[in-house]
Amino acid sequence: MTTIFEPSDDNSEISIDKMEGITNILNDYREMFENDYKIGSYDKFKEDVCSRLAHKQPYINIDKNPEEQINLVIVVNQLLTGFDSKWINTLYLDMEGKNLIQAISRTNRLYGKEKPYGT
């Protein structure tokens, strides 16, 4: 499991908590997958998560290694455009408007008999 959300920092008290949270997420991810992402490389972390979810390079055959897969991602206002994964089956949403439609379309990719539709 991991989390992806918008990493901007406005130096407010809430933002300080957010940066601490991102640091914890990156530390957990490092322990799970033996990498070393920091706040400054958050974009590379997000790219790695997206590649794992979509089973793209270097994770093309990740379905044969369940310990390398991500089974749950909590996403807050991210992955709304430019992301596509036929492997994702279910999204739980708390949003409205155009973002809702974009998020729903991320699960609406067919994948053979195993995934005839998104949920």
Residues 7-66: tens digit of each pLDDT: 777 777 777 888 888 999 999 999 999 999 998 899 999 999 989 988 889 999 998 998
Q: Is 52 exposed, middle or buried (0-12, 13-18, 19+ CB in 10 A)?
A: buried
**Which of 1, 110, 106, 86 is CA-nearest to residue 49?**
1
Torsion of CA 70, 57, 48, 105, to 10 degrees: -70
Query: What are the residue boundaries of the structural domains of the chain, listed by start?
Result: 2-105
- Provide the pLDDT for residue 32: 93
Q: What pTM, to 2 d.p., does this model score?
A: 0.74
Give me the mean pLDDT over the 78-98 stretch.
64
